Structure 1
Amino acid sequence: MKEQEKYETIKKLVETNGNKKRAALKLGCTQRHINRMIKGYVDEGKDFFVHGNKGRKPKHTLNDETKKLILNLYNTKYYDANFEHYSELLEEYEGIKISPSAVRSILMAEQILSPMAHRSTKKRIKKQLLKQKNNTSSKKEIEKIEDKILEIEDAHPRRPRCANFGELIQMDASLHEWFGGINTQLHIAIDDATGAIVGAYFDLQETLNGYYNVLSQILKIYGIPYMFFTDRRTVFEYKQKKSPSIEEDTFTQFGYACKQLGIVIKTSSVPQAKGRVERIFKTLQSRLILELRLNGITTIEQANIFLNSYIKKYNAKFALSINNIKSVFEKQPDDEKINLTLAILSSRKIDNGHCIKYENKYFRLLDPNGNPVYYYKGTSGMVIKAFNKELYFCVGETVYALEEIPSHERKSKNFDFDTPEEKPKKRYIPPMSHPWKQASFEKFMNKQAHRKELTA
């Protein structure tokens, strides 16, 4: 339009022998430049006003082959990446350095939307696709357009971040086909103040084990946080009426562990209330799935090992710096305290064989010297399954080790004469300073039951 305006102004000036000063003022140039344009118009006509680079591609423009390659790679290999992540992957794996905006231009030209596209973008593209659908009569083309039309997702409401690092940790799990063609639950803990992932663990279901592993990571790396913010489902739900045993009451188990550490648990039944962790799952479903696939991850064990390095990479890119944010994490407990606190507690009674039955197996009680201990039938106690799966039994103020009783003797006293008699082995038994006192655990259970009655 600028070229056209110059051409029409100079043409009128020459034909009417008009005022050069007025023409210079109109075009925003000097009178000397007006004289140059008059000479150019006389010599070349309209062609003089056409810019020399018109129709010529800039030097840094991607060629058609590269554009086609980028489009094909996205459709076949990186199809679930958002545009910014895709530009990073192209540089890392394909040696193609290209900006996210350039990637966006190439893919949007084919009406390919990012998994992280804004609602306004989705609405605009959907409107264009519906218009194309109405203007075409080809059934095949209509089917393609219908496949591209995306549903609009609701956004979570924004709220201010917490002031301190470790003040509020949002926890949740997401069931998805993360790797290997199977659905698994990714348990996540995210700090509200910084947006950093402070713990992550894969499991087949949303389990107490999954959240215990996440909590273990937080305790070992950062320390004891002030508060957890969770939903009211599964692991954080109060005991159900038909629950057959206390070890299945996962809210009580997790809640009791947090009580011993001094961690407050806040719950909400509204997913939008914990939008920070809900948004991060959307980001991870766009990025982590692709990273797992590119690294050949097919099992839960491999995925959990990969998470250790991926969390550092994710936090370095997305989490806010904690340099100017005060940390309210308390000092990290030692490994032994973590192992003993993240335990599953179960009430049991000693049978007439001086044993207890746990997980369909029979166990006998041993003292620190490895000698068996005997109690009357019906004596109640508490089985403690530590985080490392070791088993103990607490009776009153005394803790004993548990030894499984095999269904058959390993060696015969009558035929294996050359085998020396085994002496009792000393067993490590934790001191009674742990939080396993049966009275305090039962008091906590009664409090949870009363709380459930009030909310029912």
Structure 2
Amino acid sequence: MKEMVTLSQTELKRMLVLQRVLEGQISTFEAALVLGLSERQVYRLKAKFQSQGPAALVHGNRGRKPVHAVPEETRQQVIQLAQTIYRGCNYTFLSELLCEREGITLSPSSVGRILKSAGIPSPRKHRPPKLHRRRQRKPQFGMLVLIDGSHHDWLEGRGPKLVLLLAVDDATSMILAALFSLTEDFEGYRRLLFDLVTRYGIPLAIYSDRHTLFFPPEKEVSLEQQLLGEVRPLTQIGRILNELGITHIPARSPQAKGRVERAFGTLQERLTVELRLAGACSLEEANEVLGRFIERYNRQFAVPPESSASAFRPVPAHLRLEHVFCWKERRVLNPGYTIQYQKQTYRVVNTKGVPVIPLRTVVEVHRLADGSLFVGWNGHIYPLEPIPASSLSPKNKEAGKKGGQSMGRKPAPDHPWRKPWKSSQINHGVSF
């Protein structure tokens, strides 16, 4: 009984051409041209075909398991890990985790073939590219820093909802500063920018979206702000950047700050898994994992800048950063060198060698990160000391309730101011 042989299309084509060669219809040279082989190879195939028939054209490894094939036990282990502790990882990240944590060395393509055969698609959605004008990177490190926040379930329900704040360098895609916060607020961005400036220096420009934390709603500048030289109203973050001499650029669309957006996409895939593996369940634990992760991220994804020179400026020696990265409000200095702040009366302490502030002057109240209060005027810093309510006179207490302004005193009924201004004396002048 003859054995059935299944030929592929390529093998079937070779058999038909070899039959024509044996029948003398074409030459060996012509067969080589048709099959895309050398004449020497055609001679070998013809000899095997004559002796063994069509079975000689079948590849010898057909039906055999490749020597370098992934063992079935390893395949099942990869499938199990991809569905449990490493769920949500793309093929590349999963291959890195398997090599680092499990001792399984597989390429991303091999991981992809194993998971696809098991019906597990990649979590990354491959969307068709959109045509847009790509913005060139800045040539120097520190010329432009992109900042933004990402609202995502970073702890996957194990703890509170967190916001990840990032500062990314445009020239290198390097994450310069990062932290988790409960909300996207002033305090979070204050800490982010303080970490950036103290670690690297002052960048030339900051690129952000048009959030009201950075740019207030469009409105006219008040007369007081015009006298202080302000062209537009500034938020607290805008005021910090202005005092540091940093150009603030607003983005008109998310695509304009695509480098920080792509960083968030990578972190939402990788950092979420790292937090899960570390068992992070709180804000403090998440920030601890984040610090270790950012170092690895920069080593893997940062690119060298076009120019080796750095555009970061050193912090001037006279600049007190704690009085820049703080909350500032304006108040009027009242008689007794007191101000009203958050329903509390404070006295300005005039230290030795510092000029005395004139009364009724507009001063700045500095509330530092630790809650301490100071007054700033003409580049000088003055401490504040609270005045207990018990030490205030009833008149001062009433004045404090009215915002520090003294109440007018009502004159008595017989007060000279109430008398008529015309004289009651008889006019003895000469009449005509």
Q: Does 1:252 align with 2:260?
A: no
Contact 1:219 1:333 in 2 (8 A): no
1:225, CA displacement in angstroms?
A: 0.7
Contact 1:78 1:86 in 2 (8 A): yes
Q: 1:178 aligns with which of 148, 151, 154?
A: 154
Aligned to 1:330: 313
Q: What amino acid maps onto 1:381 in structure 2?
A: V
The 1:310/1:399 distance shift into structure 2, 3 A limit, reads same
Contact 2:169 2:175 in 1 (8 A): yes
The 1:233/1:17 distance shift into structure 2, 3 A limit, reads closer
Q: Does 1:212 align with 2:194?
A: no
Aligned to 1:308: 291
Aligned to 2:53: 45
Counterparts of residues 100-119 of structure 1 (less than 5 Å)? 100-110=108-118, 112-119=120-127
Aligned to 2:136: 160
Counterparts of residues 424-435 of structure 1 (less than 5 Å)? none
Secondary structure of 2:161's partner?
strand
Counterparts of residues 86-165 of structure 1 (less than 5 Å)? 86-110=94-118, 112-120=120-128, 158-165=134-141
1:118, CA displacement in angstroms?
A: 2.4
Q: Aligned partners of 1:107 and 1:157: how far apart in 2?
A: 36
Contact 2:146 2:206 in 1 (8 A): yes
The 1:396/1:161 distance shift into structure 2, 3 A limit, reads closer
Runs (5+) with no aligned partner, structure 1: 121-152, 409-456
Secondary structure of 1:201's partner?
strand
Q: 2:384 aligns with which of 402, 407, 430?
A: 402
Secondary structure of 2:296's partner?
helix
1:19, CA displacement in angstroms?
A: 4.0
Q: Aligned partners of 1:405 and 1:62: how far apart in 2?
A: 77
1:330, CA displacement in angstroms?
A: 0.8
> What is the number of equivalent residue pairs in this alignment?
367
Q: What amino acid maps onto 1:85 in structure 2?
A: F
Q: Aligned partners of 1:272 and 1:17: how far apart in 2?
A: 65
Runs (5+) with no aligned partner, structure 2: 1-8, 220-224, 226-231, 391-432
Q: Aligned partners of 2:343 and 2:101: how far apart in 1?
A: 51
The 1:323/1:233 distance shift into structure 2, 3 A limit, reads closer
Q: Which runs of 4+ in 1 moved over 6 A?
A: 153-156, 350-354, 373-376, 405-408
Q: Aligned partners of 1:280 and 1:342: how far apart in 2?
A: 26
Secondary structure of 1:234's partner?
coil
1:240, CA displacement in angstroms?
A: 8.4
Q: Aligned partners of 2:256 and 2:27: how far apart in 1?
A: 70
- Which structure has more helix as a fraction of its residues? 1
Contact 1:231 1:267 in 2 (8 A): yes
| Structure (1 or 2) with the larger CA radius of gyration | 2
Contact 2:339 2:346 in 1 (8 A): yes
Q: TM-score, normalised by structure 1?
A: 0.70
Contact 2:140 2:306 in 1 (8 A): no
Q: Aligned partners of 1:106 and 1:178: how far apart in 2?
A: 28
Contact 2:274 2:289 in 1 (8 A): no
Q: Aligned partners of 1:399 and 1:344: how far apart in 2?
A: 14
Contact 1:232 1:267 in 2 (8 A): yes
Aligned to 1:441: none
Secondary structure of 2:105's partner?
coil
The 1:75/1:320 distance shift into structure 2, 3 A limit, reads same
Q: Aligned partners of 2:27 and 2:120: how far apart in 1?
A: 54
Q: Does 1:75 align with 2:79?
A: no
Secondary structure of 1:189's partner?
strand
Aligned to 1:14: 22
Q: What amino acid maps onto 1:178 in structure 2?
A: W
Bigger CA drift: 102-111 or 73-82? Answer: 102-111
Secondary structure of 2:150's partner?
strand
Q: TM-score, normalised by structure 2?
A: 0.73
Q: Aligned partners of 1:198 and 1:317: how far apart in 2?
A: 14
